[in-house]
Amino acid sequence: MNKVTQPTLTIDGKTVAIEGERNLLELVRKANIDLPTFCYHSELSVYGACRLCLVQIEGRGIQGACSTPPEPGLKIQTTTPQIREIRKIAVELLLANHDQSCPTCARSANCQLQSLAQRLGIKKVRFKSVYQPVPLDESSPSLVRDPNKCVLCGDCVRTCTEIQGIGAIDFTHRGHEVTVQPAFGKNLGDVECVNCGQCASVCPTGALTIKSEVDQVWNLLADPAKTVVVQIAPAVRVGLGECFGLKPGEITTGRIVAALKQLGFNQIYDTSFAADLTVIEEGSEFLERKSQGGTLPMFTSCCPGWVKYAEQYFPELLPNLSTCRSPQAMFGSLVKSMLPDQLKVERKNLKVVAIMPCTAKKFEAQRPELGIDSDPDVDYVLTTQELAQMIQSAGIMFDTLQPESFDMPFGFYTGAGVIFGNSGGVMEAVLRYAAEKATGKKLEQVEFQQVRGDSGLREATVMVNGAELKLAIVHGLRNARVVAEEVRAGKSRYDLIEVMACPGGCVGGAGQPVSTSRDARALRTKGLYHADKMLQLHKSQDNVFITECYAKFLGDIGGEKAHHLLHTTYQSRRRIMEDPLPLMQSQAADKLKVSVCLGTNCFLKGSQDVLNGILRHAEQNGLEGRLDVRAGFCFEKCETGPTVMIGGQHIPHCTAHKAIEELNSRIDGDNPSPQADTGPGSTDAR
């Protein structure tokens, strides 16, 4: 029997086996050669724009390694004088058209452009600068977009489209005028960005960075009138160490607590406590829906990127989302209700800082419903990267710190709260609660391996008390769209669906350290499961401080007080934020404002006829100086369309006749008596 020969090729004189690699770049890296590249990511499509990963193929010339499939027998060189010069020219051209304020750039310590310039030995730029500065985009609560530092690698564009399925940013214009920007030239905060920050996590320069709140937190810590408490999310403990030279996944909880105490925080707690609380509330909500015929499938609501995505693209599914707040939001609401009395401090002087692996949490903290009278439940959100910056700024030698303990009671947690940081962790934690609650028997085997894994869409079936529960676990919003479309079409076969916006869950959040290790996310995931194993308690219902919290403060699970403090509501965000289009403008002080919705729903119901009728009536009766008429795109009142706002009053199911009657009733009697010329616009389009 003939032995099958392994196909091979030669890289810099070394024989390398071809074992299913997709391109030459993967083979070169397998040969322990780090080819430079800006635009290659293994989870994204091949783009081939930067032209840095060039190789010399015998008989074929110079080609891009990322876009060339492997073939047996190829002879490849990765570093020739010609290739080195091409790479230097490419990087110099980028530098010539780049904002070179490197020392003050947020990515100065890990900028790929800076690193490549040093690696290629670039001492000066030989090309004339054509750089023309443009304004920063700081409209987003989570991200800062600096077009001056963009190298047009396309990583952010492909991530937003291919991983998240949104496409909030893309290439615009042509030739030397090409740029990457949000739709219609708008700011990032005004388009359908969900603040997940995955674009910033793949950006090789400082073109997309996390919006820092470090200075605000320093100011809080320096204010003696403020009592500052801090909560730490589960995923932070397996990520922060990377900023200080430790391996991904290494658990640094005790050292994080020690560092935060040294920075001056008054109380240090763990968001895992609130995750345990979330399990109790969300698990109870699911069991109630399942047993009493409530809205199913139920989606988890811990991820703010997913929640905003649902509000934008699937508002009709908002009743399917659990009404539970995220652990971050639950924590803020609970401590700002309990601690003022315990610590003898006014709520306005009690400040909550959250350390999160996530940039979308910055947006969540600013949601008006998650606070009282403009006082947010969570005041500031720092990412893992921002906490590392504070520790470094304070001169704290993190790797030499002696571990310290959380403060009680909000520093006590179970393994169920810790695994929240992994994709599938929320599902497993809820199952640990629901299985025991439904059967009334102690759950001996707490691990549900069937919901674990790294694929973007996983399915599992679990038997609980004789009933079959069908589950889906999703990470990456493009995968979430597939499941949501099934639910919207009435074809869903699931009971409970967990969605995380970021690949791998919170461990892969954009606030985590930028890592060049392809295994970093998997190691962080493994670290959280190890943290669960090392704890004595693995089920949220076994957290004695949670039990005490219900007994002494919250009352019944899902009861009136618990619902008020721990649950929330959602809103439709169907449309891109847009200023109404002015069609008739008045400078009069007593002008009457009129807005007509021309969104798809209202347009199909006849809003165009209503608008034409209003404009015609104004022109025929000389009212141009009195009316300010604008066309909007959505008032989020689609069920009562056509929708018209006159003087701030909503006119549902509006017709031209109704609108003109309302106008006539509001216009001063000094004007000539208006003639109601409704014309064809008077048709009731309901």
CATH number at residue 521: 3.40.50.1780
Which whole number is the average pLDDT over 579-589?
A: 77
Task: For residue 574, tell me if it sits in a domain.
Answer: no
In the predicted structure, residue 685 carries a pLDDT above the cut 60: no
Angle between the 384-393 and 253-263 helix axes, to the nearest 10 degrees? 50
- Is residue 40 a part of any domain in this protein? yes
pLDDT band at 678 (very low <50, low <70, confident <90, very high): very low
**C-beta neighbour count of 337 within 10 angstroms:** 17
Instruction: Please tell me the predicted confidence (pLDDT) of residue 517.
Output: 73
Distances (CA, A) of 168 to 135, 160, 477, 509: 19, 7, 13, 18
For 652, half-sphere exposure in the C-beta direction (CA atoms, 13 angstrom radius) is: 5
Q: What CATH number did the domain enclosing 598 receive?
A: 3.40.30.10
101-105, 340-344, 453-457, 597-601 — which is least confidently predicted? 597-601
Residue 575 placed within a domain: no
Note whether 147 and 46 are same-domain residues: no
How many helices and strands (H and E) does the chain possess? 21, 24
Task: Give me the torsion for CA of 662, 664, 669, 670, rounded to 10°.
Answer: 120
Domain co-membership, 189 together with 326: no
Does 415 lie in the same domain as 296? yes
Is the separation of the CB atoms in 249 and 524 below 8 Å?
yes
Kindly report, residue by residue over 261-286, the tens digit of the pLDDT. Answer: 999 999 999 999 999 999 999 999 99
Res 684 pLDDT > 50 = no
Domain boundary among 34, 56, 79: 79
pLDDT of residue 677: 40
Report which of residues 445 and 40 the model is more confident about.
445
In the prediction, which pLDDT does 515 show? 83
Non-local (6+) Cβ contacts of 65 within 8 A are 23, 24, 25, 28, 35, 53, 54, 55, 78
The pLDDT of residue 576 is 54
Residues 221, 368, single domain; the answer is yes
Whether the pLDDT of residue 254 is over 60: the answer is yes
104 Cβ partners below 8 Å, 6+ apart? none
Task: Assess whether 59 and 156 both reside in one domain.
Answer: no
Q: Is residue 454 part of a domain?
A: yes
Q: Compute the distance between CA of residue 143 and CA of residue 152 in angstroms, rounded to an integer.
A: 18
pLDDT for residue 538 is more than 90: yes
Query: How buried is 256 (Cβ within 10 angstroms: 0-12 exposed, 13-18 middle, 19+ buried)?
Result: buried
Same domain, 118 and 255: no
Band of residue 450 on the pLDDT scale cut at 50, 70, 90: very high
217 or 582, which is more confident: 217
- Residue 44: the pLDDT is 82
Does any domain span residue 588? yes
Q: What is the mean pLDDT of residues 654-670?
A: 82
Residue 638 located in a structural domain = yes
pLDDT in tens, 324-382: 999 999 999 999 999 999 999 999 999 999 999 999 999 999 999 999 988 999 999 99
Give residues with Cβ within 8 angstroms of 340, minimum separation 6. 346, 347, 350
Question: What mean pLDDT is reported for the chain?
Answer: 90
Q: Which range of residues forms the domain containing residue 278?
A: 215-566
Cα–Cα distances (Å) from 6 to 18, 71, 94, 489, 647, in that order, read: 7, 12, 41, 48, 77
Of 15-24, 362-371, 518-527, 664-673, least confident by mean pLDDT is 664-673
Is there a single domain that holds both residue 168 and residue 202?
yes
Residue 675, pLDDT > 60, answer no
Task: Give catalytic residues, as residue numbers.
Answer: 282, 285, 302, 322, 361, 364, 369, 506
Q: Is residue 133 left, alpha or beta, with left meaning phi > 0 and alpha meaning psi from -120 to 50?
A: beta
Claim to verify: residue 408 and residue 552 sit in the same structural domain: yes
> Domain tally for the chain?
4
pTM across the whole model: 0.84
State residue 562's pLDDT score: 96
**pLDDT score at 2:** 56
CATH of the domain at 29: 3.10.20.740
111 located within any domain: yes
Which residue, of 210, 227, 251, is where some domain finishes?
210
| Domain shared by 58 and 94, yes or no | no
Choose the final residue of a domain: 79, 100, 117: 79
* pLDDT recorded at residue 686: 29
- Does 508 share its domain with 652? no
Is residue 131 located within the same domain as residue 223? Answer: no
Same domain (yes/no): 530, 560: yes
Within a domain: residue 517?
yes
